[in-house]
Amino acid sequence: QQQVKQSPQSLIVQKGGISIINCAYENTAFDYFPWYQQFPGKGPALLIAIRPDVSEKKEGRFTISFNKSAKQFSLHIMDSQPGDSATYFCAAKRNFNKFYFGSGTKLNVKP
């Protein structure tokens, strides 16, 4: 059973637009929800993360929206730039346990 489901698989956005990537999870024991950004040839790097006691976290142009009752969380990239073109992974975990990753979203921001 896939613990974290991510959509869409790929996304094309015009420069300046809003990119939205969605994830849904199964295990209500998860207590940490990070998003990772991966550029070609590199390992993933933490972008932003949230805990379930808040509904939103914003860091610059990146925002996580969290809906605990629906067991969903999403990444919003405001004013998307070509440099944001990368693959994005959501993940979930609970303390002292492994991470569960979504399948990834390849974002292409058109100039």
Closer to another protein by CB, 73 or 101: give it: 101
Residues 6+ apart with CB under 8 A from 41: none
First to last CA, the chain: 38
103 lies in the binding site for another protein (CB under 8 A): yes
Please state, in angstroms and rounded to a whole number, the distance separating the CA atoms of residues 39 and 27. Answer: 29
Site string for another protein, 26-65 (x = CB under 8 A): ------x-x-x-----xxxxx--x----------------
Closer to another protein by CB, 20 or 49: give it: 49
Residues 6+ apart with CB under 8 A from 37: 44, 45, 47, 86, 87, 88
Binding segment for another protein among 15-23, 55-63, 65-73, 100-108 (CB under 8 A)?
100-108
Minimum gap (Å) between residue 35 Cβ and another protein: 12
| Helix or strand (DSSP H, E) at 25 | strand 19-25
Binding site for another protein (CB under 8 A): 32, 34, 36, 42-46, 49, 89, 93, 95-96, 98-104, 106
